[in-house]
Every structure is written in C-alpha cells, then in structure tokens.
Structure 1
C-alpha cells in the first residue's frame, strides 16, 4: 500500500489517501472525491462500507473486493456513500479484462457481470423502499395524482440497476486493434452485445439485442453463442432487467485507471507524468515496436502511432447504437478533445526542461525581467515577473503574482482571460518602454507584460494606450490651489512650511 497527499479539488485541503502501491495519484484524487469528508481515506475501509451494505455473503464480498483491487469494476458514485435512493450501478473497466498474450477474457467478463447483476437485483429487492429519488413529483406530473382518500404506494422499480462500460479504446489497444478501424468497431460491438446479453439473462427473449455480424476476437464467438442460448429461453418468472450503457466522466473512471471514459478514444499517447500510456505500449507491442525503436522511427519521419481523428468517435458511436440499452450523448466531431485530467482538476506540470524566452525591459526608467515557460506544443505554462530595482515588498508581490498566473495556466485557465483582465491596468511605475518593440508606452508593468504575452502567444499585438488617457488628478497633498479670475486667493489656502532639523 502507498499513501498520497491529495485532494479532489485544487482549493480543498489535502487528505491522506491510502491505495495499492501500483495505483497512481489520479486514483488517489478520485477516491478523495468519492469519499466525503476531510479526514484520511483508506480504500480498504471505504470499500468495506458499501460491500457490507450490498451483501452479507462472505464469498460474494471477497469477489467484489477482488474486482475492485483488480480495477475491473467499482460501484457508481452514490453507492460509495451507501445512498440507495436511486438506481444502483457498477462501472466495468473493459481494459482490465485483457490478458497480455491471451486477448479478451470473455468467460471472466461474463462471470463478473453475472455476479454484479445478482448483487444489483438483490439490492433492489431488499432496498426498494429507499428509492424515493425516482418517484414522480405530483405537482409536475398531474397524471400521477391520486385522490386523497386512496393511499398510494411506491411502484416497484422498473430496472434493478445499470452496468456502465468504460475504457473501450484501451481495451481495443490491448487486443491489438485500432479504434478507427472496421475490426475495432466490430470487436467493440461484440463486447457490448455480450454485456447486454449477460445482463438480460433470465428476463425473457423479447429484451435481447440482435447479435453482431462478426466478432473478430478469438473465443468471443463461443461466449456469445452460449450466453445467447441461455438468454433466449422462455421463463414464467422473468428477472428484473439490468440495463447497460457507457460511463460519463467521473471519479469512478479515475479510480479504475480508465484512460478514456466510456466509448471515447484515447487522444494522448502520454500519461500526465510524461510516461507512455498503457494503451500506447500495447499498440507499440502489436506493431513489434519498443519505445526505443518507435522513437527512432519517429525521428526518421515515420508516423508510428497515428491518433484517431475526431470523426472516429462518431463512427464508433453509430456502430454501437443498438447493442446497449442506453447510449451517452452524441459526440460532436467538430469539438476539440478535452483533457480528462483538466476536467478532473488535475495540474499539467511543465517538464523539467522546457522552452520559453527572457525579455529585459525598462518601463518609465524601472527595469523588469519577463520570463516564460512553454509546454512542448508551444503554449504558455509559466510566467515570472521580476522588477530589479523596486522595494522588497513590490518585488515579492510581482513574483507571487507571476506564480499565481502560472498555477492558473497549468490548471487550464485561458491566457485570453488574463490578458483581458490585466492589459491596460494603470498604476506606477508607468511610462516609455525601452528594450521591446512590442510597446512604446505602458500604463503599468502588468500592462506591458500581458500585451507582450498577447503578441508572443496569441499573435495579437495590442496598441499602446495614450499617456494622457490615464492622467490622474494632481496629488491632493500638494498646495496647488490657484487664484480665481479676479486674482483673489482661494479661501483657507495654506502655504508650505519649511522645517529644518
């Protein structure tokens, strides 16, 4: 086991989170978000709460714990706090059922889903009266209103729960298939159909999806036929159905180590730490590359691992429609891919060796050093402002301000917002700019700094602000009252007093 100091939110206090040693800080942050409170978190204690609430059978409890430790399945967010007011569910990590050299373990996958379905059905049977979060509101749904004389009882739940699949692209990488390929989509459809057939076993043949045209993966065809024959049997007492779908971004995916939630593709070859992602290593292995030979091929101009296009997400979405009960929101091919670590509030640190520039400038006779740090893609990630001849307080404030901006940039704050807020800010020292042609006059050091950043990183040169546009009233401490038009001195005028000590 290993203990991390982390928090679910950057503004929240750090918590001690104890996890298995091979789990990373992303999983620690996810567990801190799943378990409410501010104290220390231990995954063993946190998991025992919902395991004991879901089952009292020791063998089933051990199996649930094993699925979590193998990062194959974990309950949805509400079950971590033992909240049963809504439909329960589990998130299943497809990539965790891939064995190196053997492929997708379909039999183990079916056994795990059957265990989870039996737990969900038993939980629904024993805690159906607690699912008040799904009851209709009478004032919003008049059709459900009953007479005051007739007592209404909550109806039985329509489903026992939900199985949400995730990390599909990493699963395909583990079996050597590309996300944006016909074989990859065929394998994804077969896995989704196998999951839905398994969860619908015992519910009658009317609820079964159509089988896929081809399976591609070895051994998956036999598992599909076996589950289909069992699920297509007529029954007089059908079981409560368990529905299938794909997960949405959330802490459970982070706890399971999902590289991309649900059916989305993996858009990055690297982990946040800068190391190659597991899906990247799997795809290199499928092409008989090592990390060293892949680097050599890339330096030689070969495209070793092309990333999926934005249209690949839509193609996968269309292929999987009909093989699960609920599909997620329709993807937008025109939208740029989001970094899942920034979505979860994770910091994108700069590499130890990075680019940038240093600019020495004088503003109104006051010297300023502007330093920047850049990511590998050329975007700004660090800012340092150092005035050399100011007081210790002014110098410390400027350096602290630069550090605050750097933290914001590394957490995903847009540079445009900083520029809109601080360009043309007015305070001394101000004046003529010497040493940088990007500006001739600046109303403050921050005005110059952020206009320089706009020119360097946004390609937008902002014009100077006229000096007279920011002239302030004379200092009220100086006796600058003047006589009126008739030459009479102003009332209560005080003169200067010279004091010699």
Structure 2
C-alpha cells in the first residue's frame, strides 16, 4: 500500500490523504477521492468495506444453499484485481438511485486468451449481490420513507445494472483489432454472454450469442448457466456499457465503455498495455515498431473515426443500454451545428480586407475565416454614408456572421443578396474583378462567392435610372390603351 496527497478541485489548495495498493496509478487515487465525498483521509479498504458489508448483511435469496460462501471476500478480491467495482450509487449507498457494478473486460484476459468461466462467475456474483440488496432495500425510497406503490411481484422490478468497460483493451489482449469484423464479432459475443447471464431466470428475453471463432464454447457455457437458473423468477439485472466517470479511472481502464483507444501512448508518453499487446501479436517489439515508424511504415493499423460508430451499431441488440456516441470535433461538425451549437472563430484569424467604391461611395469589407479556411465572419461598412446606413450595414454583417457560425451555407446568402438593386450603385473602383454593381450588397456577396465558393458571378446589366424596365415582375398588358399610373410597377411582398 502507499499513501498520496490529492485534491479533487483544481481551484482548491486543500488536499486529502488517499491510501491504496502500490501498484495502482495516481489517477486511481484521484478517482477514489472524487467518489468519496465525506472528507478526511481515505483508505481503499475502509471505503470498500462500507458497500461490501452492506451487501453481506443482506439475507440470501430463497433457494440459496445453506453452505454458500459469503460474497464479501469474493467482491473484495475482484476489486483488488480491478475486475469489478461498484457504481457511484452503490459505493455511496444511495437508495433512490439504481445500484450496479462496472466490469473491466480486459481484466478477464489471461495468457491463453479470454477466460469465459471466470467472467461468468463474476457476473453471477454481481447479479446475486444486486438481487440480495434489492430484496432487502426495495421498500426504501430516500432511506427513511417506505414506498406504498411498489409492484406486488419483486421480479418485475430491475435489481440493478451491470456496465461493461475497457472493450478495446480486451480485444487487444486477444490479438484482435477494434476496427475489424473479427473484433466486432468477439465484442458482440462477450456482450451477449453478459446479458444472457444477467437475464437468466427472469422474464427478460435472452440475446443471441453469435458464433465467434476466437471465442469458441460461449453458447454452450451460456446455455448451461441459463438452464441452471431457469424458472426462478428473479429480479432482472440490466446490462450496458459505462460512460466517462471516476469508477473507470479507479479500475485503470484504457478506454471507457466500448470506445476505441485512438492514441497508442499514455499521458506520460509510454506505450499503452493494449499497444504492447497488439505489437506482440504481430511479432513486433517496441524497438522494431519504432524502426518501422521512422522508416515511414505503420506498425499498427490506425483506427478510423467511423470505427466507434460501427462498434456502437454492432452492440445494439447485445445489451440493454448503450451510451450516446460522442461527436468528433470537426468530422461531425454539421450535425452539431444543426442542433444549435455555435462554431467559434480561432483567436488568430485569417481572411482579406477589401476597400473599394461603388458609384463613388466608399465601401470597406473585411472577412475572418475558420481553421479550415471557410468564411466565419464578414463586416461591410460604408465609410461615408449616414449613421443609419452604416448601422444597418453593420447589423446585416453581424447577422450574416452569426448565421455562418451556426452552419448556414454561404451560397444561401449569396443567392439572396447578389444582384440586389438599391442605391448607391454604379461603377466599381478599386477591384479589377468587378466593373459594375447594382448595390453595395451586390458587390460584397459576389466578391464572397468568388473568394469562398469559387464561383465568379458576372456583373448585372446596367440600367439607367430613367430607363424603362423591359421585364416587369407581372405581365401587365398595356395594349388596352390604359395609361399606367407610374412608369414602373412592381409587386413587393
């Protein structure tokens, strides 16, 4: 054992003493301090004894053999081996929240591969512990008030949840790539096995365990375990994959839940255990992998960003609950913007500044770009116009900029504002790419189209102020001899 001084709040200088096994990382001490909020020094053995003793004090379920061993010692061993840990609700003993266990899949891979018998025994112990706790505490809501609206049959209530984690490291220890059909097949088989054990003896349906070449015998093992619990009318235990939280850090997982490990290095710069396992299965040492990398070859195939979504889809029918897919920073940016997420401009921005004149009236235009070179902000200022005209043009530029930052396409603005007709209009001076503009907005948005959309838009036909419009908006027939009230008539909506 060793003792560290850690803090749970970076803005607070106060530290707490945490005692835990010497082989555990510093992150585990930080996670233990986050889980335990009662203040004072923390010892892993003392804190674990609280929830272990709570489960051990619950009476056994009906039908349990009289000589059955107590679950306390086995639960403590599984925690020390970092194969299983309670969720926050069970660790802090919150009666109004769903208790459960987090199971680290990579902890069940031995030298000869994945150990399904050990995995099934762990799941049975976790399910039995949750059901014992549920039978003893089901009448509690807040720890004091009883519930009067509980179902008469306890088997209709979920006893808890089992969350799987560290899937990618488990596949790496088995010599399987996360982004491969074999990896997804093995992951589905392991998750379906866990759900079958959790649903055995309940009213919930059992998932189909797919045939897996790297994990033979899982179907027979699950059938044997389920047959032994058939007809017991047990409370259901649901399954899923964990989300980010301190319990995963306490177990020392490399990737939370079913997420992939994108980086082969730890935060301290050393190779991850999953990276070493994948190199070993390819017959490579860290030195030979470094030599390949220096020679321009990839020692390990990179994980595609789409691999996480593919694994998520493969798991849809293997567990009861799946965490939401995280959205990549830029790859799925449009989906984020469609849900109202505003894209921020970088602190140092690129773009261009254009000073020109339209019909003798000065115009100053400036643009700012995102990291990928797309337009993110535009400012259109008529420098010598009235304060009202300058204010309206500035507000229009801000409105267009906000729209661009929320994902509105630039071509929609160009289609709306190009070739608009209002004064000042006339000859363009200062920009060889345009000779005439029907308005300042016409010039500005045709310039943006050429700069950011790669589409050159020709000048609008010049129309003299007193010239007759040859194409009115409505086909009025003047052949009847009636004299129109004005020279030009337009329908304005």
Q: TM-score, normalised by structure 1?
A: 0.61
| 8 A Cα contact 1:6 1:16, kept in partner | yes
| 8 A Cα contact 1:72 1:96, kept in partner | yes
Counterpart secondary structure, 1:272: coil
CA 1:181–1:326 in structure 2 vs 1: closer, same or farther (change >3 Å)? same
- For structure 1, list consecutive stretches of 5 or more residues without a partner in the other structure: 136-150, 338-414, 421-456, 460-501
**Aligned residue for 1:200?**
199
1:372-398 deviations in whole A, cap 9, x for unaligned? xxxxxxxxxxxxxxxxxxxxxxxxxxx
Is 1:72–2:83 an aligned residue pair? Answer: yes
Is 1:110–2:120 an aligned residue pair? Answer: yes
> Take 2:230 and 2:170, find their aligned partners in 1: how far apart are those partners?
34
> Take 1:97 and 1:171, find their aligned partners in 2: how far apart are those partners?
8
CA 1:234–1:10 in structure 2 vs 1: closer, same or farther (change >3 Å)? closer
**Aligned residue for 1:254?**
249
**Aligned residue for 1:241?**
236
**Aligned residue for 1:478?**
none
> Take 2:32 and 2:347, find their aligned partners in 1: how far apart are those partners?
32
**Aligned residue for 2:140?**
130
**1:84 Cα deviation after fit:** 2.0
| 8 A Cα contact 1:246 1:262, kept in partner | yes
> Take 1:282 and 1:256, find their aligned partners in 2: how far apart are those partners?
19
Counterpart secondary structure, 1:4: strand
**1:236 Cα deviation after fit:** 4.5
> Take 2:287 and 2:149, find their aligned partners in 1: how far apart are those partners?
66
**1:226 Cα deviation after fit:** 2.6
How many residues are aligned here?
330
**Aligned residue for 1:293?**
288
Judge which range, 60-69 or 325-334, deviates more. Answer: 325-334
The runs of at least 4 consecutive aligned structure 1 residues that moved more than 6 Å come to 415-420
| 8 A Cα contact 1:159 1:240, kept in partner | yes
| 8 A Cα contact 1:314 1:332, kept in partner | no
**1:185 Cα deviation after fit:** 0.3
**Aligned residue for 1:45?**
46
**Aligned residue for 2:208?**
210
Match among 135, 150, 153 for residue 154 of structure 1: 150
| 8 A Cα contact 2:172 2:277, kept in partner | yes
**1:291 Cα deviation after fit:** 1.1
1:277-299 deviations in whole A, cap 9, x for unaligned? 11111111111111111111111
> Take 2:22 and 2:345, find their aligned partners in 1: how far apart are those partners?
40
> Take 1:264 and 1:308, find their aligned partners in 2: how far apart are those partners?
11
| 8 A Cα contact 2:200 2:230, kept in partner | no
CA 1:335–1:321 in structure 2 vs 1: closer, same or farther (change >3 Å)? farther
1:68-88 deviations in whole A, cap 9, x for unaligned? 000000000122212222221
**Aligned residue for 1:83?**
94
CA 1:64–1:230 in structure 2 vs 1: closer, same or farther (change >3 Å)? closer
CA 1:110–1:249 in structure 2 vs 1: closer, same or farther (change >3 Å)? same
> Take 1:329 and 1:21, find their aligned partners in 2: how far apart are those partners?
35
1:446-499 deviations in whole A, cap 9, x for unaligned? xxxxxxxxxxx999xxxxxxxxxxxxxxxxxxxxxxxxxxxxxxxxxxxxxxxx
Is 1:266–2:261 an aligned residue pair? Answer: yes
**Aligned residue for 1:24?**
25
Counterpart secondary structure, 2:133: helix
**1:132 Cα deviation after fit:** 5.2
| 8 A Cα contact 1:294 1:304, kept in partner | yes
Counterpart secondary structure, 1:17: strand
**1:419 Cα deviation after fit:** 7.5
> Take 2:77 and 2:119, find their aligned partners in 1: how far apart are those partners?
14
**Aligned residue for 1:373?**
none
CA 1:279–1:230 in structure 2 vs 1: closer, same or farther (change >3 Å)? closer
> Take 2:346 and 2:50, find their aligned partners in 1: how far apart are those partners?
44
The CA RMSD measured in Å over matched residues stands at 3.1
Q: TM-score, normalised by structure 2?
A: 0.62
Counterpart secondary structure, 2:139: helix
CA 1:236–1:73 in structure 2 vs 1: closer, same or farther (change >3 Å)? closer
Counterpart secondary structure, 1:110: helix
1:244-298 deviations in whole A, cap 9, x for unaligned? 0000000000000111110000111111111111111111111111111111111
CA 1:300–1:227 in structure 2 vs 1: closer, same or farther (change >3 Å)? same
> Take 1:324 and 1:335, find their aligned partners in 2: how far apart are those partners?
29
> Take 1:75 and 1:123, find their aligned partners in 2: how far apart are those partners?
13
| 8 A Cα contact 1:174 1:279, kept in partner | yes
CA 1:236–1:65 in structure 2 vs 1: closer, same or farther (change >3 Å)? closer
| 8 A Cα contact 1:203 1:231, kept in partner | no
**Aligned residue for 2:175?**
176
